[in-house]
Chains A and B, each alone.
Chain A
């Protein structure tokens, strides 16, 4: 079952912050975050592992709450380059290591 992302879309002005949430009905081993620009392939941002630390990429960071089976992606002081669709991917603890399943995505638009 696909993880659920919220919100579906968010519009920001440059410099504003945003949070994207990802939740799963299954116990998770890892959560993966990717960003896709229009017409391009998804690009890796970061991975969060069970029992691991909060990770960061530029001014984008994320957390992983294992007990709640949730992850959040934090866009801090957003830049125009942050525009795109963000996908979370999850690997359940009981599943094989090959099945990385993605959510439906959150579209982020950063305006000047």
Chain B
């Protein structure tokens, strides 16, 4: 098992460019999510999905789009990158254990994005 795989690990963009951060998991997890991590801010939830075809917004969704066409993949799209989106992005997944969130999150290694 590879776990949660994120690509690319590093990316530099110019303001206004678009890109997609890829996330794939091979654990058959129903739940997947994207977080961004900034100094002093901790981990902030961008978007999440509870299954294929179902997505919802987290705390900081503006400027990001997601889709979930398969159980394995959950890409994060930046349509028009801004310097404020410079951050480290983590994808995480877990199995669905009951109605309420009680499961361990498995994180990818992170993608460091710089927007100039």
List residues of chain A with CB under 8 Å of any chain B CB: 2, 5, 29-30, 32, 34, 40-44, 47, 49, 87, 89, 91, 96-105
Contacts and interface: CB of A to CB of B under 8 A. Distances in A.
Given A41-B90, A41-B108, A41-B110, A100 B101 contact: yes
B113 to A, nearest CB: 16
Contact of B101 (A41, A91, A104): A91
B58 interface: yes
Nearest to A100: B101
Interface string B81-113: 000000000100000000111111111111000
B42 A102 contact: yes
Given A41-B110, A97-B100, A87 B56 contact: no
B33 A42 contact: no
Nearest to A93: B100
Contacts of B110: 41
Given A30-B101, A30-B102, A96-B56, A101 B107 contact: no
Contacts of B12: none
Interface residues of B, number: 28
Nearest 9 A-B pairs (CB), nearest first? A41-B107, A104-B42, A102-B43, A97-B101, A44-B104, A98-B48, A97-B100, A91-B101, A102-B42
B41 interface: yes
Contacts of A91: 100-101
B31 to A, nearest CB: 7
B43 A87 contact: yes
Contact of A97 (B49, B58, B90, B99): B99
Interface in B20-68: 31, 33, 35, 40-45, 48-50, 56, 58-59
Contact of A99 (B40, B48, B104, B108): B48
B35 A102 contact: yes
Given A30-B101, A42-B105, 20 more contacts: A29-B100, A34-B105, A41-B107, A41-B109, A42-B90, A44-B104, A47-B103, A91-B101, A98-B31, A98-B50, A98-B56, A98-B101, A99-B45, A99-B59, A100-B105, A101-B44, A101-B58, A101-B59, A102-B35, A104-B41
